[in-house]
Amino acid sequence: MDRVSSFDEPLKKLLGGATAKVMAEHLDLHTVGDLLHHYPRRYEERGKLTALADLPLDEHVTVVAQVADARILMFNNGRGKRLEVTLTDGSGRLQLVFFGHGVHKPHKELLPGRQAMFAGKVSVFNRKMQLAHPTYQLLDASDADEATEAVDAFAGRLLPIYPACKQLDSWRIAKAVDAVLPSAQDAVDPLPASLREGRGFTPLPEALLKVHRPQTKADIEDARARLKWDEAFVLQVALARRRYADTQLPAAARRPVADGLLDAFDAKLPFTLTEGQEKVSKEIFDDLATEHPMHRLLQGEVGSGKTMVALRAMLTVVDAGGQAAMLAPTEVLAQQHHRSITEMMGELAEGGMLGGSDRGTKVVLLTGSMGMAARRQALLDLVTGEAGIVIGTHALIEDKVQFHDLGLVVVDEQHRFGVEQRDALRSKGKQPPHLLVMTATPIPRTVAMTVFGDLETSVLDQLPAGRSPIASHVVPAKDKPHFLSRAWERVREEVENGHQAYVVCPRIGDDAEEAEGKGGKKAKAKKAAPEEDGDKRPPLAVLEIADELRKGALAGLSVEVLHGRMHPDDKDDVMRRFAAGDVDVLVATTVIEVGVNVPNATAMVIMDADRFGVSQLHQLRGRVGRGSAPGLCLLVSEAHEASPARARLSAVAATLDGFELSRIDLEQRREGDVLGQAQSGVRSSLRMLTVIDDEEVIAAAREEAVAVVAADPELKHLPELRTVLAALLDKDREEYLDKG
């Protein structure tokens, strides 16, 4: 078998169809190479018991513990029986429970004093942590043959605990790894020999053996150090090649022009730019003046003035004879950007119109729901060059849209845009246009180096004067229902003081949505919360909550809804009336998460807040406190006090620092999810590297990668590195590095 193909061997050849199917469907493992790169999450020492006191609620866990007590209890007048087993490890106790016919085998085997590995999902019953019907493997079998086998397998050895799933326990994965481990000898080593020797790394086959079957803790350290480097280095080489290829592309330099549109705009600004805005603008202007395309990421907290910086860049490009396009993720946001930009520019946005400035240009809006006449005019203005600036949704990317001379593309909220869409817009320029990507999600430096590694980064970290503080509190609706009543009273108080409020729900609701398929409401409920086992109610819905509030807690106030299934004209109408102060309370989905700006809105209640991610909650909260009055954000949740979900909400309530929250977010996510859903191509390549902890490894790997690519852009002298890159970043995955 040649060196590459043993890693490409399908798992079903070695493990049998049933196991291979579970691995493919639930763990995304398809080949021998995939399984060899499915590393243990941690290791247990024989005889050392896990801390039961630290078990996370609602997670699938594997523990090694000792049976303290086991008893059979009858219920239903003796018709039903259950086996309750108490485990101990010195730090805490854990209850196991088995029902019905499932009690016989564990009752014989789980005797006091026995030690075993147990796997199951942690839940709470009668205020006690428990595992219901866990799978287990005895570590001290009584049968002589079994005992010998168990001792051979476990004595004096570190037990690898693998990321597992309900259908496949950690120890079954360990057995599967044993079957493919001989193939580790065929691993293709991506590190150049000079780098490997210079840094004293363990050879790759040895690192794979040590990570799966370590004899000592030093083995684990060696293996981890080596495997982290591989991941960081291969990823950084892919990014460095992408940056190198970008520097080879031609672009028209767009240099500022004296006494042009930008100068006229700056002269009429009613405030001075912050130092941060000046600094970032200079970085962008320097990039625009070069003859290869700018690729810059502009990150800044909600309200830090990113739109102003982007607008000044667009005006510079218009001054230099080009056009600029701004892409927004939703129609609501595109319309809002169009409104705020035309308001900021005044008569400068009416070029060629009666009363417009002779230095002005046309600013047009292009969205999918526009009427034919308005759309035809907008398309004409773009192709003739009459419109210098266009703002729109992905409707901008359609084949029909032609530009006179596209010089700059600004993408707002990058993570909502697919790569193909960005490339399609980029291909509309005579030469590749300059690219400015904006995000209000603060990104730690390591993540910027990894996820956005092909973009130069600028950060706006000062808030403009006049922004108000936001108080945030968790409202435990289940434990303390009167807290929720008080939350609605607070909303009413804000409205009585002349302000407005948002109520955010995870779902839209209504029968049209819920009766998809024969299952009606229940089918949809299951669909709405795929992570649940059907034991939790579906997430709260906009239409239901709005109805309840109108009839109950907020009766008499003007309550309106906003969600993605509404007709765009209706959405815009509601948003305009809310902005004008005619609507007291807006009940919405996360359609308001990005860019909605109503300074008079001071309160936000987020229902089922535990169903949202940390950065999403931070984004939503940024919609209040935008004026002179202080903001209030209430995070309503039924999550158990000891759950990770509640810990997440408490972290959000405790700080307004987005960079701090983005660190917490990363620390709390499970391995492999660091790069987010949209990064799935890259995500599956990061098994060992944790972006948040391995800053030094990533920074060093980036330096080495840049040097390697500068010396040999095609990697002609590094065939092994080329092979690994090709396997890891097949065409689709390579595309993901364009930050879709």
The answer to whether 620 touches 634, Cβ cutoff 8 Å, is no
Instruction: Give 57 or 563, the one with higher predicted confidence.
Output: 563
Q: Is the pLDDT of residue 644 over 70?
A: yes
Q: In whole angstroms, what is the distance from residue 104 CA to residue 102 CA?
A: 6
Supply the pLDDT for residue 80: 82
What are the contacts of 127-134 at 24+ separation with CB within 8 A? 128/95, 129/52, 129/55, 129/57, 129/92, 129/94, 129/95, 130/94, 130/95, 130/96, 130/97, 131/61, 131/94, 131/95, 131/96, 131/97, 132/96, 132/97, 132/99, 133/97, 133/98, 133/99, 133/102, 134/96
Instruction: Give 684 or 303, the one with higher predicted confidence.
Output: 303
Mean pLDDT of 670-677: 38
Supply the pLDDT for residue 79: 78
Q: In whole angstroms, what is the distance from residue 388 CA to residue 373 CA?
A: 20
Supply the pLDDT for residue 282: 95
Supply the pLDDT for residue 186: 86
Q: In whole angstroms, what is the distance from residue 277 CA to residue 270 CA?
A: 15
Average pLDDT, whole number, for the chain? 81
Q: Is the pLDDT of residue 505 over 60?
A: yes
DSSP letter at 100 equals G
The answer to whether 455 touches 700, Cβ cutoff 8 Å, is no
The lowest-confidence range among 488-497, 513-522, 528-537, 694-703 is 513-522
DSSP letter at 99 equals E
The answer to whether 468 touches 629, Cβ cutoff 8 Å, is yes
Mean pLDDT of 229-253: 87
Residue 88 structure tokens? 């101990």
pLDDT band at 50 (very low <50, low <70, confident <90, very high): low
Phi then psi for residue 725, to 5 deg, are: -60, -45
Mean pLDDT of 401-413: 89
Supply the pLDDT for residue 464: 61
- Short-list 419, 296, 447, CA closest to 736: 419
Q: In whole angstroms, what is the distance from residue 138 CA to residue 679 CA?
A: 40
Q: Is the pLDDT of residue 660 over 90?
A: no
Instruction: Give 50 or 500, the one with higher predicted confidence.
Output: 500
Mean pLDDT of 50-67: 75
Q: In whole angstroms, what is the distance from residue 721 CA to residue 350 CA?
A: 55
Supply the pLDDT for residue 451: 67
Supply the pLDDT for residue 280: 94
Q: Is the pLDDT of residue 493 over 50?
A: yes
Q: In whole angstroms, what is the distance from residue 48 CA to residue 65 CA?
A: 9
Supply the pLDDT for residue 317: 95
3-class SS letters over 199-236: CCCCCHHHHHHHHHCCCCHHHHHHHHHHHHHHHHHHHH
Q: Is the pLDDT of residue 642 over 60?
A: yes
Helix 331-345 × helix 306-319 angle, to 10°: 70
pLDDT tens digits, 323-381: 999 998 888 888 888 988 998 898 888 876 555 566 789 999 998 888 899 999 999 99
Supply the pLDDT for residue 512: 46
Q: Is the pLDDT of residue 237 over 70?
A: yes
pLDDT band at 302 (very low <50, low <70, confident <90, very high): low
Percent of the chain surpassing pLDDT 70 = 82
Supply the pLDDT for residue 125: 82
Supply the pLDDT for residue 5: 54
Supply the pLDDT for residue 671: 35
Supply the pLDDT for residue 155: 44
Instruction: Give 110 or 671, the one with higher predicted confidence.
Output: 110
Mean pLDDT of 242-269: 89
CA distances from 198 to 192, 194, 201, 731 (A): 10, 6, 8, 32
pLDDT band at 666 (very low <50, low <70, confident <90, very high): low
Phi then psi for residue 158, to 5 deg, are: -80, 125
pLDDT band at 210 (very low <50, low <70, confident <90, very high): very high
Supply the pLDDT for residue 640: 82
pLDDT band at 51 (very low <50, low <70, confident <90, very high): low
Supply the pLDDT for residue 624: 87
Supply the pLDDT for residue 525: 36
Q: Is the pLDDT of residue 516 over 80?
A: no
How many C-beta atoms surround the C-beta of residue 519 within 10 A?
13
DSSP letter at 289 equals T
pLDDT tens digits, 146-196: 545 554 554 446 788 888 887 888 888 988 999 999 999 888 888 999 999
Percent of the chain surpassing pLDDT 90 = 32
pLDDT tens digits, 561-603: 998 888 888 888 998 899 899 999 999 998 776 557 788 999 9
Phi-psi region of 156 (alpha: psi -120 to 50; beta: other; left: phi over 0): left
